[in-house]
Amino acid sequence: MTSSDLEQLDIQPLTKARFAPFGTVIETGGATQIGINQGTTIRFDAMAGVDVTAGDGTPIISLFRGTRRPDPIEIHLLERHPLGSQAFMPLSQHDWLVVVAHGNAAGDAPDFSTLACFRATGEQGVSYDRGIWHHPLLVLQPVQDFLVIDRQGEGHNLDEVWHDGPAALINP
Amino acid sequence: MTSSDLEQLDIQPLTKARFAPFGTVIETGGATQIGINQGTTIRFDAMAGVDVTAGDGTPIISLFRGTRRPDPIEIHLLERHPLGSQAFMPLSQHDWLVVVAHGNAAGDAPDFSTLACFRATGEQGVSYDRGIWHHPLLVLQPVQDFLVIDRQGEGHNLDEVWHDGPAALINP
């Protein structure tokens, strides 16, 4: 199969409704606003939860520094975290890409025919629900930093499934 | 007492060593670096933990939008969260201020004579340990956004102690 035969994924704007089957969009829009700190601060409350306490899991805060992959982006694999959610929040105001898929009927691998690609703004993070198949970080600038909240602890918390050759292309 | 009699707090650069009695500086410097995602991403791992599961607490991700207070900044109060840590990470590359104090001997109020002020860069967050007395968010730009990871759940998780008049001044 040549690359010209490969499906080119549509890039859809990221919205809470579109992303709902996969997790939570972390954004101020739609969040409950609470005035705090003697009126100097607005708290956009509980934009996302953190679900990492399965087993002996505890939440940790890390930083992911992602570099851009070559164009077109070839989708070769997806991964999931069976024991915890994983949240990404951009630390700079640049768009980035989110690629997810539903699981297959057996529940042991992604269904690559359901791949979906979303373009997030620099003010949108996502929290992948526990067990959701997603592509590793895809950035559009040469380098972009993200704050990541995920799980630390014993237990098997990473499944990775490679497609037989590229499953799809993205032309950002 | 006139404001000219008030102590002006020194503003010290924020470092892990200086902040250690109060919590964790969230920064890439000194963090364990792990190459992931087919070599496209560096994970700066576990820059901070999240300690919010006391009682029935769970971690949540919120956004604080802080506005600048008038100059000089008057320190009137401190607060603490008895049931959980609270982490702040700036979402823009601007400095901000962190003000903390030790507790008094009785353990029921801050010792305002121990006030300390740190200047954090836009690439430094902090996680206040559970129970640490700290001032509400202090920003230096007209408006600055922070991602906040703290505790949701039942129980008494906010103590606030007001000083009798301003305890100190800060001239950023």
| B147/A16 Cα distance (integer angstroms) | 19
- List CB contacts (< 8 A) between B31 and chain A: 62-63
Does residue B36 contact residue B122 with C-beta atoms inside 8 Å?
Answer: no
Distance from CA of A131 to the nearest CA of B (A): 18
User: Hey, CA dihedral for B12, B127, B123, B78, is it positive or negative?
Assistant: negative
Residue B4, pLDDT score: 58
For tokens 């802080």, the residue is: B66
**What's A4's DSSP letter?**
G
Q: For residue B129, which of B12, B19, B30, B13 has the smallest C-alpha distance?
A: B19
Token couple for B18: 């200086």
For residue A168, pLDDT over 90 is answered with yes
- List CB contacts (< 8 A) between B67 and chain A: 40-41
For residue A85, pLDDT over 80 is answered with yes
Question: Closest-CA residue in chain A for B43?
Answer: A64
Mean pLDDT, range B137-165, rounded to an integer? 97
- Topology of domain A7-170, CATH: Jelly Rolls (2.60.120)
pLDDT digits (tens, 9 = 90+) for A37-50: 999 999 999 999 99
Name the residue facing A60 among B36, B49, B136 (closest C-beta). Answer: B49
Residue B6, pLDDT score: 87
For residue A3, pLDDT over 70 is answered with no
A40–B136: do the CB atoms touch at under 8 Å? yes
- List CB contacts (< 8 A) between B98 and chain A: none
Residue A22, pLDDT score: 98
A66–B41: do the CB atoms touch at under 8 Å? yes
ipTM: 0.96
Q: How confident is the model at residue A5 (pLDDT cuts 50, 70, 90)?
A: confident
- List CB contacts (< 8 A) between B160 and chain A: none
Q: A29 by DSSP, 3-state: which?
A: coil
Any idea what the Cα angle at residue B1 is, between residues B172 and B96, rounded to 5°?
15
Any idea what the Cα angle at residue B111 is, between residues B105 and B112, rounded to 5°?
170
Distance from CA of B7 to the nearest CA of A (A): 22
